[in-house]
Amino acid sequence: MGLIERPTRVKAAGMPPKTIEEFVGHVNTATGGVSIARMKSPKGWSEPGQTPDFDEWTTVLSGKLRVETKTETVEVGEGQAYFAPKGAWVRYGTPDGPAEYVAVCIPAFSPQAVHRDA
């Protein structure tokens, strides 16, 4: 219990580069049960699809986040959230403009658990 003074920047997938600031997770707090990170994605950013071994909740603070699944494409706007269950294929992007959002993953995000498309 206590104050987490600052996040740690971690490398992001996709282009053009986005910023990931992890507050809680493997890197910043050595926590494996949950990760909480703030993302800042530029206009035109996209990443490979993924089929992660974690549940992910994403809350958009500003802008719009595009979420693609095998069955739908959803535009998640400011003040909205999206849930992607573990084992489901998903791809994120910000094609229309920059966005800032917070992602919560249970268990914590890790490069080994995300299973990105080749």
Position 37 scores a pLDDT of 98
Within a domain: 30: yes
Within a domain: 92: yes
- pTM of the model as a whole: 0.95
Q: Tell me, what CATH number does 106's domain have?
A: 2.60.120.10
| Dist. CA 107–CA 93, nearest whole Å | 22
pLDDT in tens, 64-94: 999 999 999 999 999 999 999 999 999 999 9
| Residue 84 in tokens | 């992607």
pLDDT in tens, 2-58: 999 999 999 999 999 999 999 999 999 999 999 999 999 999 999 999 999 999 999
| Dist. CA 102–CA 8, nearest whole Å | 14
- How many other C-beta atoms lie within 10 A of the C-beta of residue 18? 20
Within a domain: 37: yes
Number of domains in the chain: 1
Domain range enclosing 26: 8-13+22-114
Within a domain: 2: no
Contact yes or no for 15/45 (Cβ under 8 A): yes
Within a domain: 89: yes
